[in-house]
Amino acid sequence: NISEGFTFMFKPDFTKIDGSSVLAAMGHAFFTLSLGMGCVVAYGAYLPKQESIFKTTFAIIFCDTLIALVAGLVVFSIVFDNNLDPSQIAGAGLIFKTLPLAFGQMPSGVFFGSIFFILLGFAALTSAISLLEPSVAWMIERKNLSRGLSAIIMGSIIWALGLFTVLSGNELSDFTFWKGTLFDNIDHLATNILLPTSGFLFTVFAGWFMSKKSSSDELDINRKFQYKFWRFLARY
């Protein structure tokens, strides 16, 4: 039911706005745009000199937001069409618990569910590749290893550590502290604390420690007013 999904997504409830909701929204913005992550630094270094940072970032933000809105409408339409309540299960629970139930009640649900999770896995894989790049680049530059070997080593380490978060949903589900399971704590720490802090430090460095010439050349801003406005926002 698209109308119910649309209402759920876009009808504001101002009584729910508090410090935690603002922090969650900010954390989501940082996470979905990879702000404060090492991959931004890595891909920024690979960006051709003639490429416009402003145009590139605008295109990324526009496409990311558009895809997120379309995906949200599709997901919540499926949920409401099967009389399920998405407000009861958020985050990973919505994807891995609520949606399988919804697909199970749909005609040809196995087919559409399989397609959905294949695409979800592809999206996760491509995101993981970009997140792996900073550590791979470090191995190449500091340890003089090939890209393939560096990717295998770092990927294996991260995969092994990631098993604990997977197990926190079943075998280790009884082991809880602070925000819940190990997965919940890592998610909260990374999304709501580390990424905003890292983004803040990036901004401080760009505004206070980079020279005007360096930042102006990188941003390729021809108008003085635009650059001064950007620098003011970065510093204050």
Residue 38 CA: distances (Å) to CA of 22, 51, 198, 206: 24, 20, 9, 15
Q: What is the average pLDDT score of the chain?
A: 87
**Residue 30 Cα to chain centre, angstroms:** 7
Q: Taking the model in full, what pTM does it have?
A: 0.79
Average pLDDT over residues 84-97: 72
Q: Which of 48-57, 74-83, 92-101, 184-193 bottoms out in mean pLDDT, i.e. has the lowest?
A: 92-101
Q: Is the pLDDT of residue 77 over 70?
A: yes
Residue range 132-178, pLDDT digits in tens = 999 999 999 999 999 999 999 999 999 999 999 889 888 888 888 88
For the chain, the helix, strand and coil percentages under 3-state DSSP, each to the nearest 5: 80, 0, 20
Of 140 and 81, more confident: 140
pLDDT of residue 88: 64
Average pLDDT over residues 203-232: 86
